[in-house]
Amino acid sequence: MKVTEHLNASKGTLFSFEILPPLKGKGIKTLYDGIDPLMEFKPKFVNVTYHREEFVYKERQNGLLEKIAVRKRPGTVGICAAIMNRYDVDAVPHLICGGFSQEETENALIDLQFLGIDNVLALRGDSIKSEPVFVPEPGGHQHANELIFQIHQMNQGRYLMDDYKTDPTDFCIGAAGYPEKHFEAMNMEDDLYHLKKKVEAGADYIVTQMFFDNKKYFDFVDSCRKAGITVPIIPGLKPLKSLKHITFIPKYFFIDYPVELSRALVKCKTDSDVEKVGIEWCTQQSKELKAAGVPCIHYYTMSNSSSVRAVASEVF
């Protein structure tokens, strides 16, 4: 079923979460160990993130450098199939522009459709470590709105090479939104302009970047509605878990902690102190969002589901 169908069919706030494919070398049990503890909260869909391969340069005997792709995690398509086979849940693979030509994107979508996967979260992806700015693959997409449009075209039966009549796909397409603005956008108005372009290209709903101040989400939804963006906007939350998160999350995701949260965090001496604060904060955020009638709350597990479980057991 499509994410939007789940949202429409639900009378209350749904619970959903995303998982990272385990690192290469790990077996599928690692994946299930992350999902099993969260299934009692009856998610209707589970997102599977996508991680681009990185490149290293190795010197050959002739002195020339060879560019070698290093893949750190197994592919999303197989993981989604495994999830849908084991659990009564829809899988939402993340598909990114980075590293994909349009042909490779189409091939990935053909595999997903073949497996009965109805949903895709379409993203640009970040630049790889060796590149200061995002560089698309030759023949690939520069921005998520182009990727969304390609999926939308396939939903109309328009494939890249229409050598014979091909059945249309029927993907429900999600897009990313940023309550605190995407770090590259000139300002919020500019970011909302591009977000609207993603919806016009075919996005059916939006999932937000994590935030720790609900007011930012509520203001973002208001601004989207004023800008004419009418699709559902699912808030994304993350319970902080370790001392490392205190600095890593604002730096990596370009988001602020509210003063009250930062005052609690500076008193933390251990990871478990942070985990306690993180669970309490995220629980309060979740309760307020649920009371406000948000369609779904989406949790970022970042390979660790125990804190999300603690929050969900208070809220769902």
Q: One symbol per residue from 199 to 218: x for binding ligand FAD (CB under 6 A), - otherwise; what is it? A: --------x-x---------
Q: Which two structure tokens, joined as six digits, stand for 133?
A: 């700015």
Indicate which single residue of 21, 34, 43, 125 sits in contact with ligand FAD (rule: CB under 6 A). 125
- For ligand FAD, the closer CB: 122 or 264: 122
Measured distance CA(111)–CA(106) in Å, rounded: 9
144 is an interface residue for ligand FAD by CB under 6 A? yes
Helix/strand/coil for 256:
coil
Neighbours of 53 (CB within 10 A): 13
- For ligand FAD, the closer CB: 179 or 278: 179
**Which residues make Cβ contacts (< 8 Å) with residue 13, sequence separation at least 6?**
289, 290, 293, 294, 295, 296, 297, 316
Sole window of 122-130, 161-169, 269-277, 287-295 interacting with ligand FAD (rule: CB under 6 A): 122-130
Q: Which two structure tokens, joined as six digits, stand for 307?
A: 């804190």
Q: Please name which of 248, 280, 244, 242 lies closest in space to residue 261, comparing C-alpha atoms.
A: 280
CB 253, min distance to ligand FAD, A: 8
Measured distance CA(231)–CA(209) in Å, rounded: 16
- For ligand FAD, the closer CB: 20 or 310: 20
The residue count for binding ligand FAD (CB under 6 A) is: 24
- For ligand FAD, the closer CB: 182 or 276: 182
List of residues contacting ligand FAD (CB under 6 A): 49-50, 52, 94, 96, 123-126, 143-145, 176, 182, 184-185, 190-191, 194, 197-198, 207, 209, 236
